[in-house]
Amino acid sequence: MTAAADIHPKTVRGVTRIARNAKAAAARLATTLTAEKDAALQAIAEGLRESSARIVKANESDLAKGAENGMSESLLDRLRLDEARIAAIADSVEQVIDIPDPVGTTVLGRTLPNGIRLTQSRVPMGVIGAIYEARPNVTVDIAILALKAGNASILRGGSAAENTNAELVSVLRRAVESVRLPADTISTIDQYGRDGASVLMNSRDYVDLLIPRGGAELINAVVQDSIVPVIETGIGNVHMFIDSSATVKTAVDLVINSKTQRPSVCNSLETLLVHEKAAKRILPKLLERLEAAGVVVHADADVAALAPQSMRIRRVSRRDWAKEYLDLELAVKLVSGIDEAIDHIRAYTSGHTEVIVTKDIDNAETFVTAIDAAAVGVNVSTRFTDGGEFGFGAEVGISTQKLHARGPMGVEQLTTTKWIMQGNGQIRD
């Protein structure tokens, strides 16, 4: 990120003005009724459907530019919006309407010995900033979840999705304004580029929380450079361990779904660990299916010996164990048992999602207890670590840190709390 001294004063003034206006909008939202917020969300859903053709056209421009610049197919898939995806996004907005409003709910309540009634109540964060890459669906997800929780949002979506995000933010602002909420409930600083993101990271007077979503380089830069509090949404070096008791069908189905259903997202499988006692029984069929799906496998000679003759196995390196491919690539390793699997995951996990495939209840419990990650699964696809799948309607990211929020972040995770003391004149001795 750019040093503050090197940023043009016009950029500093522009981003600061947007942040100041967002803070004013957040003050209005803090007292907004649930019905008003839901009306804004309904207007957003309808606006997305009505503007679908314009959004697709803007997205086509970004896709063409991305292809010209050599963007990988997996990243182009993240960037792509078609009418079906826009319809699905609009549907997710309406799902957020159905989610209970967390603002004002009581977390804890009790009466102290001196008669003071003490209540811990949920309140909005205030202004939430988001910095992300080539993911136009995130523009909507963050804006609507922030709104439902009574927050204003400031978005920096990156140059790769510049045209798409500009169209989306325009739709969102018009929709919010149509129900008499401030247009500055949702803002973008894309026009100020990377320098604008640097200013946002230093806007502690106006921004209450910053959420980065993207690759390791982006996330690390925001975590290291921001003076605004950050929730780290880490990379997804996701593991699956196939235990010796796993059935062939369950193991193969879960691996194929976890790796190939949508390989460009953070909850897709990146490293597969297979109990050596299950290798001859499960790997030939699994490797055959992976080859048919176009998956490039990184492994050693022991795994290669079980692969179809037509399948080329790339020699695995130490770097592969720590890599988030975000593509049709998979690292595979044989392990002597659950202890080695756990040790390997502990050494390389990004703290996102880890899954065991087993029929052994004791091994399942050991795995769940020993693995430290935002989400741990037993006999499920890794693709279920998702705000929508968890019933949140959408998500602003999957937090891999341990403070405040962990795992998929929905509406409730975009609130904080305050303590309310009600008395009748009590004084402290």
Share of the chain above pLDDT 90, in %: 84
Residues 249 and 106 in one domain: no
177 is a domain residue = yes
Average pLDDT rounded to a whole number, residues 388-407: 83
Residues 27 and 141 in one domain: yes
Whether the per-residue pLDDT at 345 is higher than 90: the answer is yes
Task: Give the lowest-confidence range in 56-70, 204-218, 221-235, 390-404.
Answer: 390-404
Residue 236's pLDDT is 86
2 is a domain residue = no
397 is a domain residue = no
Residues 122 and 42 in one domain: yes
Residue 4's pLDDT is 59
What is the rounded average pLDDT for all residues in the chain? 94
Whether the per-residue pLDDT at 219 is higher than 90: the answer is no
Residue 83's pLDDT is 96
Residues 160 and 32 in one domain: yes
Share of the chain above pLDDT 70, in %: 98
Residues 23 and 153 in one domain: yes
User: Do the beta carbons of residue 152 and residue 29 sit within 8 Å?
Assistant: yes
91 Cβ contact list (under 8 Å, min separation 6): 45
Average pLDDT rounded to a whole number, residues 191-200: 95
Indicate the Cα dihedral angle 57, 62, 67, 70, nearest 10°: 180
427 is a domain residue = no
Residue 260's pLDDT is 96
Residue 168's pLDDT is 98
Whether the per-residue pLDDT at 391 is higher than 90: the answer is no
Q: Rounded CA gap, 96 and 33, in Å?
A: 15
400 is a domain residue = no
Which domain, by its residues, includes 368?
Answer: 239-390
DSSP track, 230-253: B-------EEEEE-TT--HHHHHH
* pLDDT single digits (tens) 135-192: 899 999 999 999 999 999 999 998 999 999 999 999 999 999 999 999 999 999 999 9
DSSP track, 158-173: -GGGHHHHHHHHHHHH
Residues 118 and 194 in one domain: yes
Structure-block tokens of residue 243: 């235990």
Residue 75's pLDDT is 83
Residue 5's pLDDT is 62
Residues 295 and 366 in one domain: yes
Whether the per-residue pLDDT at 394 is higher than 90: the answer is no
The pTM is what?
0.84
291 is a domain residue = yes
Residues 135 and 175 in one domain: yes
Write the CATH number for 87.
3.40.605.10
Residue count of the chain = 429
Task: Give the lowest-confidence range in 156-170, 351-365, 400-414.
Answer: 400-414
Domain count along the chain = 2
399 is a domain residue = no
Whether the per-residue pLDDT at 3 is higher than 70: the answer is no
Residues 382 and 410 in one domain: no
205 is a domain residue = yes
Confidence of residue 388 (pLDDT cuts 50, 70, 90): confident
Residues 217 and 344 in one domain: no
Residues 144 and 193 in one domain: yes
Residues 219 and 326 in one domain: no
Residue 222's pLDDT is 92
Average pLDDT rounded to a whole number, residues 351-375: 96
Residue 371's pLDDT is 97
Write the CATH number for 267.
3.40.309.10
